[in-house]
């Protein structure tokens, strides 16, 4: 969590949201601290944690809300969610970001390696002094 993106009193705000929800997930109802099986470590349960999620609810004047605007702490824009429900709520954005990261990495690799071995970058334009990767 990048604390610079959140208001200075985020701890108080998020606690008030969790207190109002009685430290239960507003989506599934599980209580904070409830043992739950771990998907990543079978056989090792973990204690559920209630988090405070930004929902991206539209403003009353019709402006679109943004779940990435961590300064938007209107009560209707925040919800107490367990880790599983919070992840599910953000899943579409997580998938999009993962895809953007993968495409950016592939583009970087393509540009880097294509540039290194392209004939226009080889003054001799010959292969005799290059290894199998195009390096001299």
Judged by DSSP in three states, 51 sits in: strand
Q: Which residues pair with 79 in a beta bridge?
A: 53
> Distance between CA 44 and CA 110 in Å, rounded?
41
pLDDT at 16 over 90: yes
Among the residue ranges 8-17, 57-66, 68-77, 87-96, the one predicted with the least confidence is 87-96
- The pLDDT of 80-102, averaged and rounded, is 83
Identify the weakest region by mean pLDDT among 17-26, 70-79, 116-125. Answer: 116-125
The model carries a pTM of 0.66
Note the pLDDT of residue 113: 65
Other Cβ atoms less than 10 A from the Cβ of 103: the count is 10
């Amino acid at each position: 969590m990048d604390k610079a993106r959140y208001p200075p009193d985020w701890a108080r705000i998020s606690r008030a949201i969790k207190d109002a929800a009685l430290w239960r997930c507003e989506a599934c109802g599980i209580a904070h601290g409830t043992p739950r099986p771990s998907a990543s470590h079978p056989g090792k349960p973990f204690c559920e944690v209630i988090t405070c999620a930004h929902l991206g609810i539209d403003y009353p004047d019709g402006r679109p809300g943004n779940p990435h605007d961590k300064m938007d702490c209107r009560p209707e824009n925040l919800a107490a969610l367990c880790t599983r429900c919070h992840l599910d709520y953000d899943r579409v954005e997580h998938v999009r970001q993962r895809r953007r990261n993968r495409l950016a990495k592939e583009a970087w690799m393509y540009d880097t390696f294509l540039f290194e071995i392209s004939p226009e970058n080889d003054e001799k334009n010959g292969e005799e002094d290059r290894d199998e990767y195009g390096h001299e």
